[in-house]
Structure 1
Amino acid sequence: MRVFRGMDWVKGLLGKSRQKLPQIQMQNLTAKLRVKPVTKERVQATKDRAIQGMKAHKWTLVKTASVVGVVSALVWGGNSYVHGNMSEVYHVIVNGQEIGTVTDKAQVEQFKDTKIKELASSSADVRMSVSAPTIEFMPEKAFMAQGDEQQVLDKLSSYITAHPVGIEMLVDSKPVGVVKDEATANQVLDSIKATALDKKKSSGVVKVLSASPAVQSADVVEVQKVEFVQKVELKEVDIQPQDVMKPEDLKKKLETGDVQPTKYTVEKGDCVSCIAKKLDIPKQVIYQNNPTISDDMIKVGQQLDLTVLQPTLAVRTVEKLVETQEIQYDTEYQQDDSMRLGESQVIKAGKNGVKKVSIQVTKVNGLMTDETVLNEEVVQQPVKAVVRKGTKVVKGEGTGKFAWPVLSSTITSTFGTRWGAFHKGIDLTGNRNIMASDNGKVVFAGVKAGYGNAIILDHLNGYKTLYGHLSQINVSVGKIVEKGEKIGYMGSTGDSTGVHLHFEVQVNDEPQNPLKYLNR
């Protein structure tokens, strides 16, 4: 206000100075300047009068110039003072509403960032979701302006809020649990996948079904796919701190479905197949849960774990196995009339060949659900043996070379450790008529534990073949059958999952890999 009063004083001073300036009598000057002939004398006279006039009024002119100078100095000084004290302020608008003014908008931004970080890290157990407002700044220049920073920051603080959130996991659209964040949820899921992959490493530990041959192991195992059977979704939700589960608890729930353990005490007359049938549970569960079972031997009073898990989340793996398998050599028999019946002499020793078999195996939670033979590659051809034999032919004696017992067959399960147990043969589907794989004598035709309706042929040369899960048996014990002769009809009797033929080749009653004798 002091500056503006000074300006009024300057304006008054200028008004008074104008009143004191000499008035030139224009009419007198006009009369004196009437046109006359111009001479040197007149010019000199005019100059002299002008000089005298200036001398007569010089003090008046000096005073006037001084007043104008003072006024100009005051005006310039006033403007400089005003401009020197002008400053910029910012009107702070939060969510469309003004909460005050500040001189430094960076201070507001810094306060907001600090408050957000403080609220976000306010709890170590849960994750906090921070809601921050929209802040706008409207600049304005004002004389000697000041901001109300503290009031603005106090009001802004009430606009920045936080609440706990978590990641909810849904399996097939059903909520199963909440964890702290997405990284924790993914760790749980990755851990479940890793556990499913690890199960295949211990699948050969259980030794069952009185199988003495060494368990075949794959030369190459390539995991082609790892995926969840169910649809898994992760969704951020508002929670209460007590809703958050520990990662290990969520993993257990997903893997077991919160199923409680089931124990069973072996009674007199029990066997693995009997218990599985009595309690309607898969045999592979018994073998898997009780790795101490060897060669199907259990004792009365022995406690077994028969817990059948019902996982909320199942892992499907697709693996490609490449196994090295033998190809059984053929034998050429030369009849010799000089040799007695049943006697033989090796003229040239045979040698088994080698082939690589590629198998695609699908598992769910480490247990096989599907198996497909992709292709076979012969690495080394077998060398045929030559044997001299007596000429007297024994009726029913086999040739030693086996034919496929099922026409247009497809292999659905191979020989070896399968389904958590040792599989003593191969499973075939295709034409349902079952044929004798070689000449032989029927030594068993009836119901056999685990195999359902079964036939065993003795080929009278050290080989036997077994045909299981039949729906119909067309031969009886003691009958001599020819190679390729129909002996039964495919079915799903015994411990079978679906219609197929279980086919075994035995040498001295020990199971061999049938693919060693059967070639495409």
Structure 2
Amino acid sequence: MIHSLQQKLKLVLVIFLLTLCTCLILGMQLKTVYQVEFDGKKLGYISEMNLLKKWGQEQSSIVQFKYPDAELVSNQALFKIKSVKRFFTKAQDEKVEQEFNQRFIVESSGYTIQVDGEVVGVVANKEMAELILQKIKNNFSVRNQSMEVTSLSWKKEQQQYKTVTYKSVQFVENVIVSTVKTDPALLSNPEEVIKKLKGEDIKRTSYTVKEGDCVSCIAQDFNVSQEVIYSNNPWIQDDFIAIGDKLDLTISKPKLSVKTTEEYTERLQVPSGVKIIYDNSMRVGRSKVLDQGKPGMKKITYLRTKINGKLIDEKVVKSEIQQKAVPKKVLQGAKIIKGIGSGVFDWPIIDPTVTSQFGKRWGRFHAGTDSVSSNRTIYAADSGKVIYAGFTSDYGNHVIIDHQNGYQTLYAHMSKINTKKGSLVEKGDTIGIMGTTGRSTGVHLHFEIRNKDNEKINPLTFLNE
């Protein structure tokens, strides 16, 4: 009985020991691993929880190094990880890393620049997009350059100051900047975007001048305007080109145009003019200076509208005499002699609107004032003698009056001439009708004033208000 009890106890002890050993062995095989899932699919087990984050950072760093300005986003959040305990399970770090790399995506949060619905480029961030657009605007508005020097005459013997104040700077087209997810490799180079917006990404067209060529002939042959030729080749002076010269005939077509409205003010010296006092007691041809006179000062303010720097509209909004000119007084013998000017000029058209003023235009000098009026009759600005009344390819039908006091005036692009060479005209006499003959882009009057040295002088310094 006792012996049977001892055997039972031994059996229980053996079973306990076997169970204990089994538990110890199984406990040694139970491990904590980290299960990785992507979009609900199990990818495997990894040994450390931070491996997933580490792999994502490595991939993002590679892309960020290649595209330092890009704002990167990834799909890291789609990878799920959880801690689990498993018997006889080994981590699969290498396998899971491969699976991770195949599914891990790094994208850039880019910004598109659209012009009238067309995507011109995608840049790395909003600041870059705004900087590009500002650079385009800055090409045509230099706000910090308020004082410049202009001249009264072509030779710049008398210099006065002018000021430019920008009232508005805006794009003509509709411009939209919006966010988009994109491959960083597809981000645009900012300089290339600027070139595209300015129309500088096109292939250049060049031409070598041959015998018999002229600017207007080349313009006609290549179907480009003469303005394009002058603008692209500012070295051309007085239409002179030589055999072998290289001309740039590229027509730039910017996708984005800048419209500026500016208030332009200049102070100009007003010539004193000449006041003739006739003395019947003095012999014909004799004269005497009674007073040398004194020049005055005039302040003129224009409102100018430009698109891409090209003047499309210009109006005189204010003109004031700051100092009146005192005319030179000359006592002249004999009776009043027809055809001698006073030196004081009236507008040659009624109610004029200035469309282009005297000075530099697109790299060339504009030697007069262009103006239009609903009344197309052209009048002599002062008394004088007509020394030319005919046609040339540049001025078209035009008249030149010598006022026999050191000044001449020119009236260009007429549709009809109502005077002839040798005629003596008085101030206000009709001499022609406004037109668009010669080198002209529309009906207007091109008006010039020249002094005794044949210098072209700003007409607005002479014209009566």
**TM norm structure 2:** 0.75
Instruction: Say whether 1:335 aligns with 2:278.
Output: yes
Match of 1:405 in 2: 348
Aligned to 1:139: none
- Superposition deviation, residue 307 in structure 1: 1.9
Partner of 2:179: 236
Counterpart mapping for 1:36-47 below 5 A: none
Equivalent position of 1:457 in the other structure:
401
Q: Contact (CA 8 Å) 1:167, 1:237: kept in 2 or not?
A: yes
Aligned length: 408
In structure 2, the residue matched to 1:197 is: 141
Aligned partners of 2:277 and 2:411: how far apart in 1? 30
- Measured against aligned partners, the alpha-carbon deviations of 1:257-305 in whole angstroms (never above 9, x if no partner) come to 5322122223344444454455443434333322333344332322222
1:466 to 396, 404, 410: 410
User: Which has the larger share of helix?
Assistant: 1
The secondary structure found in structure 1 opposite 2:198 is helix
Could you say which residue in structure 2 is the equivalent of 1:247?
190
SS in 2 for 1:288: helix
2:112 aligned residue (165, 168, 176): 168
Matched residue, 2:366: 423
Q: Distance in 1 between matches of 2:285 and 2:384?
A: 15
Give the aligned partner of residue 425 of structure 2: 481
Give the CA deviation at 1:421: 1.8
Answering whether residue 330 of structure 2 is matched by residue 366 of structure 1, we say no
1:494 aligns with 2:430: no
**CA drift at 1:426:** 0.8
- What's the offset of the Cα at 1:375? 1.0
**How far 1:174 sits from its partner (Å)?**
0.9
Q: Is the 8 A contact 1:211 1:295 kept in 2?
A: no
Cα displacement string for residues 233-252 of structure 1 (whole angstroms, at most 9, x for unaligned residues): 22333434442222122222
Question: What letter is aligned with 1:446?
Answer: G
Q: What is the rounded CA distance, in whole Å, between the counterparts of 1:277 and 1:364 in structure 2?
A: 25
CA distance in 2: counterparts of 1:193 and 1:369, whole angstroms? 17
Q: CA deviation at 1:353?
A: 0.5
Shift, 1:113, TM fit: 8.8
Question: Structure 1 residues 231 and 177 mapped into 2: Cα distance closer, same or farther (>3 Å)?
Answer: same
Match of 2:248 in 1: 305
Corresponding position of 1:440: 384
Question: How has the CA–CA distance of structure 1 residues 343 and 306 changed in structure 2, closer, same or farther, with 3 Å as cutoff?
Answer: farther
Contact (CA 8 Å) 1:119, 1:130: kept in 2 or not? no
Relative to 1, partners in 2 of residues 1:498 and 1:215: Cα closer, same or farther, differing over 3 Å?
farther
Aligned to 2:131: 187
Contact 1:318/1:360 (<8 A) preserved: yes
SS across alignment from 1:197: coil
Q: Does 2:451 align with 1:513? A: no
Distance 2:181 2:234 in 1: 45
Q: Residue 450 of structure 1: SS of its match in structure 2? A: coil
Looking at structure 2, the residues matched to 173 and 267 of structure 1 have their Cα atoms a distance apart, in angstroms, of 44
* CA displacement at 1:417 relative to structure 2: 1.6
| Distance 1:170-1:495 versus aligned 2 partners, 3 A rule | same
Quote the Cα distance in structure 2 between the aligned partners of 1:114 and 1:214: 74
SS in 1 for 2:355: strand
Cα separation, partners in 2 of 1:233 and 1:215, compared to 1, 3 Å: farther
Worse overlay, 192-201 or 490-499: 192-201
Q: Alpha-carbon deviations, 1:112-153, whole Å to 9, x = none?
A: 9988876655513444333465999xxxxxxxxx987xx9xx
* Amino acid in the other structure paired with 1:422: F
Mapping 1:369-380, distance limit 5 Å: 369-380=312-323
Q: SS of the residue aligned with 1:457?
A: strand
Aligned match for 1:129, one of 73, 89, 97: 73
Alignment partners' CA distance in 2, 1:229 and 1:393: 58
Offset at residue 306 of structure 1 (A) = 2.2
Higher strand share: 2
Per-residue CA deviation, residues 335-370 of structure 1 (Å, 9 max, x unaligned), is: 234544333221111111112212222222222222
Residues 224, 490 of structure 1: alpha-carbon distance in 2 compared, 3 angstrom cutoff: same
5+ residue gaps in structure 1?
A: 1-93, 100-106, 137-145
Residue 498 of structure 1 aligns with an amino acid whose one-letter code is G
More moved, 191-200 vs 400-409: 191-200
State the alpha-carbon separation in 1 of the partners of residues 415 and 220 from structure 2: 19
Look up the equivalent residue of 2:459 and give its one-letter code: P
Q: Evaluate the alpha carbon distance shift between residue 447 and residue 303 of structure 1 in structure 2; reply closer, same or farther with a 3 A threshold.
A: same
Aligned counterparts of 1:233 and 1:215: Cα–Cα separation in 2: 48
- Matched AA of 2:132: V
The alpha carbon displacement at 1:214 in A equals 5.8
Q: 8 Å contact 1:125–1:180 — kept in the other structure?
A: no
Cα distance in 2, alignment partners of residues 503 and 306 from structure 1: 30
What is the rounded CA distance, in whole Å, between the counterparts of 2:414 and 2:237 in structure 1?
A: 28
Q: 2:334 aligns with which of 391, 399, 406?
A: 391
Structure number with greater Rg is 1
In structure 2, the CA distance between the partners of 1:320 and 1:366, relative to structure 1 (3 Å rule), is: same
Give the direction of change, closer, same or farther, for the CA distance of 1:116–1:231 in structure 2 (3 Å limit). farther
Displacement, 1:517? Answer: 1.2
In structure 2, the CA distance between the partners of 1:254 and 1:96, relative to structure 1 (3 Å rule), is closer
CA distance in 2: counterparts of 1:369 and 1:111, whole angstroms: 65
Distance 2:189 2:57 in 1: 25
Amino acid at match of 1:172: D
Distance 1:278 1:403, change over 3 A: farther
Structure 1 residues 96 and 305, CA gap change in structure 2 (3 angstroms): closer
Letter in 2 for 1:188: I
Return the alpha-carbon distance in structure 2 between the equivalents of residues 295 and 213 of structure 1. Answer: 18
Q: Structure 1: how far apart are the matches of 2:60 and 2:177?
A: 21
C-alpha change, 1:335 and 1:357, in structure 2 (3 Å) is same
Displacement of 1:179 after TM fit?
Answer: 2.3
- Compare 126-135 and 457-466 and name the one that shifted more: 126-135
Does the 8 Å contact 1:163/1:238 carry over to 2? Answer: no
| Distance in 1 (alpha carbons) for counterparts of 2:217 and 2:157 | 27
Counterparts of 1:271 and 1:217, CA distance in 2: 36
Task: Provide the aligned C-alpha RMSD in A.
Answer: 4.1
Structure 2 CA distance for partners of 1:299 and 1:281, relative to 1, 3 Å: same
